[in-house]
Amino acid sequence: MKIDSLESLRQWREKLPPVESKKLTLYACAGTSCLSSDSDLLIERLRERIKAEPLEAEVELVRTGCVRFCGLGPVLLLEPEGVAYGKVTLKDVDEIVDEHLKRGNIVERLLYEDPEAGLVKSTQEMGFYKKQKRIALKNCGRIDPWRIEHYIKQDGYEALGIALSEMTSQEVVEIIKQSGLRGRGGGGFPTGRKWEFTLQESSDEKYIICNADEGDPGAFMDRSIIEGDPHTLIEAMAIGAYATGANQGYIYIRAEYATSIEPLRAALDDAREHGFLGKDLFGSGFDFDIEIKLGAGAFVCGEETALIHSMEGQRGEPTTKPPFPSQRGFRGKPSTVNNVETFANIPQILLNGPEWFASVGTEGSKGTKVFALAGNVKNIGLVEVPMGITFNEIVYEIGGGPSGKEPVKAVQIGGPSGGVITKEHFDTPIDYDSLDAIGAMMGSGGLIVMDETSDMVEIAKFYLDFTQDESCGKCTPCRVGTKRMYEILDRLTEMEGVPEDLQRLRMLGENIQLASLCGLGQSAPNPVLSTLDAFPDEYMAYAYRTKRTAYAIDADLCIGCTKCKRVCPVDCIEGEVRETHIIDEAACTACGACYSVCPKDAIIRP
Amino acid sequence: MKKDVLDITDLDETRLVELDNYIDKITGDPEEELIHVLHFAQQQFGYLPHNLQRYVAKRLDLPSATVNGVVTFYSLFSEEPRGKYTISVCMGTACFVKGADKVLERILELTGSEKGKMSEDGLFTVEDVRCIGACGLAPVLTINEKVYGNVGVEDVDDIIRQYKRSGRRED
């Protein structure tokens, strides 16, 4: 069926049943994290049992994208009760079907247990979900991404229909400008203004490009949107194309995301079949289509000029701006490059109005931001929060506090381009300007919680190892500078550094920030400089070689249980049963195995 | 100067035909499709040897240097053949003192390969890696995505035999 007008789209939507049309709706997460713990087998099994019972009249099984609580995966959500089952295995399927689906009894042992509230029966009561607000991830985990009907029922393609039937390009641009939406890929440039630049260029051809080259280690916001709600991206790109005067769109996706490409291709085909891509969309005379371009493994391609060169089949090296892509981009034509999450906000802004969007967030940062929350924190997963929320709220309320016995020390935001936020700044509102004021940045959405056991110098070294490896090599400050910084860090952690190394690190870092050609180099020193500012003692301990590198045992606390001795991978712990144990500090590799098994907290960390 | 002739006699003919068909279907600017063509070529041949790169260059009417520049820029393209199974032996301190070097030695011996080079039967590429952070399981190795912990020299024979068997069966 081809949709040729807003009217026919609405008629179709009217006829479709809601996603939750049966007595029970069982949402089964098939996001990347759940899939890696075999949620596809689980879904298959559930489907078989529901069919065999038969329970098909009462239970609707929906295979969804990411439901965000990845630490609990594989996750099942049951509506209307709002029950969430976590870490579900194949063995649990029978009990869920027999007890819950047939008799309505909750399987308590699969519920999430809150340290304070105990067993949680409804997602409404979970700290993890309570403070979140979904705009970009509105449909993610709530629809089957393979069924366009689900998307249509959630007001899908309505915003595109309205834009094409009732608005001019300039009017769409004005709405996005009024909404205050800023680029979610890290730069934070106002999206409406970016669109306006391209609209004002006159050219026989223009392009709209989606940057899906999500490269930060540990971040998977964009991937979840592409896999869990691909039609939102397609609709948003079509709106952006109309607003900027483009007729062709490209999604540049990293080749590592091979599994995301399949549902995306299927969604593109579906959209074409129903007339949301192709010629004369909604009978408006506007033509638009989308092609996928594959990357081949290069972090720098997340930078927009490098991305465009890679799309052209070349080495993904950045070039100086200006000219900006809006002036001379892909094939030398005016092009707009937006990130996946930025796009995912567009249809909602058009549907609910710019005032609605601007009512969420802070003065200079409107709407929400999606973060991939991970590290030493209890609740791990994707979180979408209103701008202006504090780190305290994310770490302790949504994240549920530290995962181990140690308190939280800091949060790393923005991955290899970002920096650390120390505890005294945990009440800082998370928005572009407040983060800027404390010398940090929003980044694309990585958020790693670190507890007292984390070694900040090692962490800085980890990120620098990544950026110096990914530096494209075109400009010297980045190519040589990051390498030299890494060598200094390596020397320090090997206890071969000197105090002057700290000044060298700072000087190199500041020069690389100033002199590098693109964002990769300009931001590469951030993880080092921010830890150097926040934790100078840790650097000093390495530079003056006073850092203890071995674990030790508190003789007063040790009961001689032999647990540490048994787990030590290098056999450097001596001691008889019921006698105090001793660690040979010269042989200790500081792996921490003894520390985590000691029942008496008798092990002293270096 | 000796003329450098492009010799592709060692490349599988049916796979070359597949590659030709793929290239023939390109409608737009061939340079723009270079990365996609290389992905396809690597899928067909497993890696991108120099003569294959030059063949692609010829077919797309591009300088060989351009093609090689792209191949070496992106980390997913490989100029070395890779075995079906990549065995990574952790050489972190904990693993090393527990005898990871001897484990590595035995694996190289059993697979008949050199470090970093594919074994002759095409099944294995063996390499040593930096600490993978599983010190409690030392010595540790990974085969493709699967992690093996507490691997002693005496366990290696079984593991390799198992992969040799399943590798042959699938062929």
Token pair 């069966």 is at which residue?
B169
Spatial separation of the C-alpha atoms in residues B151 and B171, rounded to whole Å: 27
Which of B92 and B41 is assigned the larger pLDDT? B41
B62/B91 same-domain check:
no
Question: What pLDDT, in 10s, does the model give residues B24-38?
Answer: 999 889 999 999 999
Q: CB of B97 within 8 Å of any CB in chain A?
A: yes
Q: Which of B33, B69, B73 shows the shortest C-beta gap to A298?
A: B73
Two tokens, residue B109: 């011996």
A109/A240 same-domain check:
no
Identity of the amino acid at A124: Q
A94/A201 same-domain check:
no
Interface test with A, best of B75, B90, B145 (most A CBs within 10 A): B75
A84/A160 same-domain check:
no
Predicted pLDDT of residue B133: 67
Give the total number of structural domains in chain A: 5
B58 inside domain: yes
Q: CB of A297 within 8 Å of any CB in chain B?
A: yes
The domain that holds B92 is classified in CATH as 3.40.30.10
Q: What is the Cα gyration radius of chain A?
A: 26
B35/B106 same-domain check:
no
- Among B160, B140, B142, B136, smallest CA distance to B151 is for B140
What angle (nearest 5°) sits at the alpha carbon of residue B90, between those of residues B85 and B94?
155
B141/B102 same-domain check:
yes
Q: Under 8 Å CB-to-CB from A143, ≥6 apart: which residues?
A: A19, A62, A64, A65, A150, A151, A154, A228, A229
Asked if A296 and B31 come within 8 Å (Cβ–Cβ), the reply is no
- String of b and e for A46-74 (b: at least 16 CB within 10 Å)? beebbeeeebeeebbbbbbbbbbbbbbbb
Spatial separation of the C-alpha atoms in residues A91 and A567, rounded to whole Å: 31
A274 inside domain: yes
Predicted pLDDT of residue A499: 96
Give the total number of structural domains in chain B: 2
Q: Which residues of A touch B69 (CB under 8 A)?
A: 315
Spatial separation of the C-alpha atoms in residues A600 and A596, rounded to whole Å: 10
A6 inside domain: no
A219/A72 same-domain check:
no
B68/B89 same-domain check:
no
CA end-to-end span of chain B, whole Å? 44
A134 inside domain: no
Nearest-neighbour CA in chain A from B90: distance (Å): 13
B2 inside domain: no
Profile chain A (606 residues) by mean pLDDT over runs of 10 residues.
94 96 94 83 95 93 93 91 93 95 93 81 86 95 96 97 98 98 93 98 97 85 94 98 98 85 94 97 97 93 96 96 96 97 98 97 96 89 96 95 90 91 95 90 90 89 90 96 97 93 97 96 96 96 89 92 89 92 88 86 88
Arithmetic mean of pLDDT over chain B = 89
B65/B106 same-domain check:
no
Q: Which domain holds residue B41?
A: 13-73
Q: Which of residues 12-41 of B touch A (CB under 8 A)?
A: 29, 31-36, 38-39
Predicted pLDDT of residue B3: 60
A422/A522 same-domain check:
no
pLDDT at B2 over 90: no
Token pair 């180099």 is at which residue?
A521
Q: Under 8 Å CB-to-CB from A459, ≥6 apart: which residues?
A: A412, A420, A450, A527, A531
B126/B54 same-domain check:
no
Question: What pLDDT, in 10s, does the model give residues B61-94?
Answer: 999 999 999 999 998 899 988 888 999 998 877 7
| Element holding A352 (H helix, E strand) | helix A340-352
The domain that holds A429 is classified in CATH as 3.10.20.600
Among the three residues A521, A543, A565, which one is the final residue of a domain in this structure?
Answer: A543
Among the three residues B33, B51, B73, which one is the final residue of a domain in this structure?
Answer: B73
Among the three residues A307, A328, A357, which one is the final residue of a domain in this structure?
Answer: A357
Q: Which domain holds residue A39?
A: 17-125
A509 inside domain: yes
Record the pTM: 0.90
Helices (H), A86-245: 93-95, 103, 127-130, 148-153, 158-166, 169-179, 191-200, 221-228, 230-244
- Among A64, A337, A35, A335, smallest CA distance to A212 is for A337
Q: CB of A589 within 8 Å of any CB in chain B?
A: yes
B105/B159 same-domain check:
yes
A196 inside domain: yes
Helices (H), B62-147: 64-73, 93-97, 100-111
Helices (H), A249-332: 258-273, 304-311
How many beta carbons lie within 10 A of that of residue B169, not counting itself?
Answer: 7
Q: Which of A296, A592, A593 shows the shortest C-beta gap to B35?
A: A296
A163/A301 same-domain check:
yes
Interface test with A, best of B39, B76, B137 (most A CBs within 10 A): B76
Asked if B74 and A569 come within 8 Å (Cβ–Cβ), the reply is no
Sequence length of chain B is 171
B96 inside domain: yes
B3 inside domain: no
B154/B91 same-domain check:
yes
Predicted pLDDT of residue B114: 92
The domain that holds A266 is classified in CATH as 3.40.50.11540
Spatial separation of the C-alpha atoms in residues A526 and A533, rounded to whole Å: 10
Spatial separation of the C-alpha atoms in residues A267 and A229, rounded to whole Å: 9
Among the three residues A528, A543, A558, which one is the final residue of a domain in this structure?
Answer: A543
Backbone φ, ψ for residue A603 (5° rounding): -85, 130
B106/B150 same-domain check:
yes
Q: Which residues of A touch B135 (CB under 8 A)?
A: 569, 589, 591-593
B160 inside domain: yes
Q: CB of A310 within 8 Å of any CB in chain B?
A: yes
B55/B92 same-domain check:
no
